[in-house]
Structure 1
Amino acid sequence: MTPTLNTIRATLAAMGNHSHTTEKFQSDLMDYARAFSKEGDCLIEVGCFRGGLTAQFAAIGKELGQHLHVVDIDPGYLEVARQSVQSTTGDDNVSFHLCDLATFAQGAGNGIRVSLALIDGDHYYNGVIADVRALLAMVPRPYGVAFHDYSLRYATPEGKNIRVDRAIQDTLGREFPHVQIGEISRIGGPLRHEPREDGHFHELGVSEGVLVEFRKLSIE
């Protein structure tokens, strides 16, 4: 029997491999994975970090009879994510790909039917632009695509180009169709709204993530 998501989260927390997203974002994402499951036969995670969401995706994939493709350019993160999955659900329905999304889409991902993809890797403007273009070029396109850290900002010069929101708006249009997922940044909420040591914060009133039904987009 596949462990429950709460059990998986507790195991990962004990390992130090918990997800660095809010619980609401995690729950929203899993709900959409179930809701979109008939629109494809696999899931994609781009940017796995330590596997806090990877293991949950693997569990949902087993529940829905779907394969999970994990894509990251960092071999160290892929290995830790693999350990997170192996320690919770097992990785028999998971493939790990050491590359960027465009390379994956042109290779192992060519022609796959994706019900839901999570984009949570490169948050710099140009990196997000590249991921959006890779998604638009896939045939068929993923049905649903979730982007994390839509509200993420940095108060440091080196982080000024970390703008997931602006990259999506510049490729899909300022009024692109989407739903908000995760937390809305607010005073007293779980998202940091004032910069501290590393300079990161979330813009007040902006959602942690957004979800877009890519297969319905008319953009070429």
Structure 2
Amino acid sequence: MEVGCWRGGLTLQYATLAQWFSKKLIVIDLDAAMLSHAKNLVDKLYPDLGVVYFNGTLANYMDSGEFPDNVVALVLDADHSYAGCKKDCLALKDVHDKCRMFIFHDFSMRRAEDPPHLGAVDRAIYEVFGKDVRLVPTGLKMTEPGKPNEDGVYIESSEGAILITGWNSFK
């Protein structure tokens, strides 16, 4: 059903969807400890779901030859640096035709020390897909715009964005 790069709780939501719709869930994470944490959470609730867990990047997973041909949604939530986000967005070129949508987490995430600038996720999306990219906002505003939480982070608008592949192309 989807390929997710995530850390914990959100993976449970995708696991629930995968079970409801009898789809496969693939979880990709750079951090082996966080991948193990996600696995423990999912396996407790859905021991028979048959989730695939992969430690590495999306590009690493694609290089493994295991990327499915018909993916409903690919969820990206891993490296929040600009360089990491841009690398992930560029890697999407190789799966654009195999996937119906890309879901980006932490869209509009800002840091207190750098509020006037685009967040890393936003900037990477706009640079790779162009300023006219069509995005569907998703998720909540977990903080007030301009008012950072205790970690110095705030969400400017929605916490996520969905890019429908048929509506968009690469620059």
Partner of 2:97: 140
The two structures have a TM-score, normalised by structure 2, of 0.87
Instruction: Tell me, in whole angstroms, the C-alpha distance in 1 between the residues paired with 2:126 and 2:98.
Output: 18
Instruction: Tell me, in whole angstroms, the C-alpha distance in 2 between the residues paired with 1:87 and 1:111.
Output: 25
Aligned residues: 168
Of the two, which has the highest radius of gyration? 1
Where in structure 2 are there 5+ consecutive unaligned residues? none
Instruction: Tell me, in whole angstroms, the C-alpha distance in 1 between the residues paired with 2:32 and 2:143.
Output: 29
Match of 1:87 among 33, 37, 44: 44
Instruction: Tell me, in whole angstroms, the C-alpha distance in 2 between the residues paired with 1:78 and 1:44.
Output: 13
Partner of 2:148: 195
The answer to whether the 8 A contact 2:3-2:75 is kept is yes
Residue 163 of structure 2 corresponds to residue 212 of structure 1? yes
Name the Cα RMSD after superposition: 2.2
The answer to whether the 8 A contact 2:19-2:49 is kept is no
Aligned amino acid, residue 191 of structure 1: T
Deviation at residue 99 of structure 1 after TM alignment: 0.8
Residue 4 of structure 2 corresponds to residue 45 of structure 1? yes
Which digits, 9 at most, give the CA deviation of each residue in 1:47-89, with x for residues without a partner?
A: x21x212122122112212111100111100111111011112
Displaced runs of 4 or more, over 6 A:
none
Which digits, 9 at most, give the CA deviation of each residue in 1:144-178, with x for residues without a partner?
A: 11111111111237xx8852111101110111011
Partner of 1:120: 77
| SS of structure 2 residue aligned to 1:66 | coil
Identical amino acids, percent of aligned pairs: 29
The two structures have a TM-score, normalised by structure 1, of 0.69
Q: Counterparts of 1:3-22 in structure 2 under 5 Å?
A: none
The answer to whether the 8 A contact 1:116-1:144 is kept is yes
The answer to whether the 8 A contact 2:134-2:167 is kept is no
Where in structure 1 are there 5+ consecutive unaligned residues? 1-41
The answer to whether the 8 A contact 1:146-1:212 is kept is yes
Deviation at residue 117 of structure 1 after TM alignment: 1.2
